[in-house]
Amino acid sequence: MKKKRSKHEFRANTLPAMVTVGPMVLLLIFLVVAPLIFVAVMSFCQTDQYYNVVYKFTAENYSKLISPDYLKIYGQSILIALLTTIVCIIIGYPFAYIIARCKSKKKKLLYMLVIVPFWTNSLIRIYGWRTFLGSNGWLNSVLQNLHIIKEPVDFLYKTGTTVLGMVYCLIPFMILPLYTAIEKLDGSLLEASSDLGAKPYKTFLEVIIPLTSGGIFSGSIMVFIPCLGYFFVSNILGGGNTDMIGNLIERQFKSANNWPLGAALSIILIVVTLILVKIYQKLGGDMEDLGV
């Protein structure tokens, strides 16, 4: 009797569970978990004189991480990622607010228009900015022809340029969660607030902002973290002056060929990500809001 039940259990639950969830679990184990564990292992490895990885324990890679040159780049990374997040909120919030409060047909079109630019490859769009801003770029030609400036101004290779590129790449990840949060806002609460005599700015600060803070938090996570790794933006627009931790990692794997050091640098990014996600959860953020 008992055996029969377990056989039924197998056919009704265990077997279909294995068939459906199995491939996904294999994928997660072999293509997500294993590689990350392997990075952690490699961060403790040495290299021989030809820069081949030697599987012998060392903590040296981690001691290299606190060299002054690197510390400067971490500071720069945090500065750029922070500025990018703040600018994304300042532009993204009012923008998301305005389109989320439009009439439904118009709203859909305006929303689509945010997504359309992202159908063109991000690299080539960032290169578009370079063509526009460079010292012999289009903005300079226009300004010179209008006699606003005499000599070409180089807008490139500055912290601001990299922030501009980052904002450009990442702003949809701020706008979309804000849009969802603002769309859910109950209009009657806003009316109640103003009926009770609150000035618009007060309604905004004490009703609207707290009710949409979830969107601000998830948007900030989705902007800040990837920003640290977008090495191509600072490569193209910062030209080496605005290197970030992503650039350091890229170099170890592509030109300097010191994989263990690159792995140790990646561990920093993993730790930063975990800490930020924990803070996000502590603040009441829902992991599901980070997904889509």
Partner 1 sequence: MNNTKRMRKKMRNKALSVLFCVLVYLFLFLPISVIVANSFNATTSKPYMMWKGFTLDWYSKLFDNTLLLESFENTMIIAIVSTLLATVIGTLGAVGMYRYRFKGKGIINGLLYIPVVIPEIVIGIALLTLFSKVNIPRGMITLILAHVSFSVPFVIFNVRARLSGYDKSVEEASMDLGANRIVTFFEVTLPILAPGIGGGALLAFTLSIDDVIISYFVNGQTKTYPLKVMESIKSGVAPDVNALSTLILIGTIVLVTLTQSDILKRKGK
Interacting positions 232-291 with partner 1 (CB under 8 A): 232, 236, 246, 249-250, 253, 259, 262-263, 266, 269-270, 273, 277, 287-288, 290-291
Region of 60-68, 116-124, 154-162, 184-192 interacting with partner 1 (CB under 8 A) = 116-124
DSSP the chain: -HHHHHHHHIIIIIHHHHHHHHHHHHHHIIIIIHHHHHHHHHTT-EE-TT--EE-----HHHHHTTSHHHHHHHHHHHHHHHHHHHHHHHHHHHHHHHHHTS-HHHHHHHHHHHHGGGGS-HHHHHHHHHHHHSTTSHHHHHHHHTTS-SSPP---SSHHHHHHHHHHHHHHHHHHHHHHHHHH--HHHHHHHHHTT--HHHHIIIIIHHHTHHHHHHHHHHHHHHHHH-HHHIIIIITTTT--HHHHHHHHHHTS--HHHHHHHHHHHHHHHHHHHHHHHHTT--THHHH-
Tell me the window of 56-64, 65-73, 172-180, 181-189 that interacts with partner 1 (CB under 8 A).
Answer: 172-180
Please list every residue from 138 through 167 that binds partner 1, using CB under 8 A: 138, 141
Determine the Cα–Cα distance for residues 184 and 37; give it in Å rounded to an integer.
40
State which residue, 36 or 59, has the beta carbon closest to partner 1: 36
What's the closest the beta carbon of residue 90 comes to partner 1, in angstroms?
11
Using the rule CB under 8 A, which residue among 1, 2, 3, 20 binds partner 1?
20
If one asks whether residue 67 binds partner 1 (CB under 8 A), the answer comes out as: no
Distance, in Å, from the CA atom of 166 to the CA atom of 91, rounded to the nearest integer, reads: 13
Q: Which is nearer to partner 1, 68 or 96 (CB)?
A: 96
Phi, psi (rounded to 5 degrees) for 257 = 60, 35
CB of 264 to partner 1, least distance (A): 11
> Which of 115, 189, 205, 275 is close enough to bind partner 1 by CB under 8 A?
115
Please name the residue that has the structure tokens 């679990």.
25
Give whichever of 60 and 95 is closer to partner 1, judged by the CB atom.
Answer: 95
Q: Which position among 60, 62, 125, 153 is part of the footprint of partner 1 (CB under 8 A)?
A: 125
Least distance in angstroms from the C-beta of 238 to partner 1: 13
Among the candidate windows 66-74, 154-162, 169-177, 187-195, which touches partner 1 by CB under 8 A?
169-177
Contact 126, 237 (CB under 8 A): yes
The residues in 40-59 that bind partner 1, with binding defined as CB under 8 A, are: 42
**Which lies closer to partner 1 via its Cβ, residue 86 or residue 269?**
269
Considering only residues 178-237, where is the footprint of partner 1 by CB under 8 A?
Answer: 221-222, 225-226, 228-232, 236
Q: Identify residues 85-114 at the interface with partner 1 (CB under 8 A).
A: 91, 94-95, 98-99, 108, 110, 112-114
- Paired with 46 in beta bridges are 54
Q: Which of residues 6, 36, 59, 75 is near partner 1 by CB under 8 A?
A: 36
* Least distance to partner 1, CB of residue 46, Å: 15
Token pair 């009704």 is found at: 12
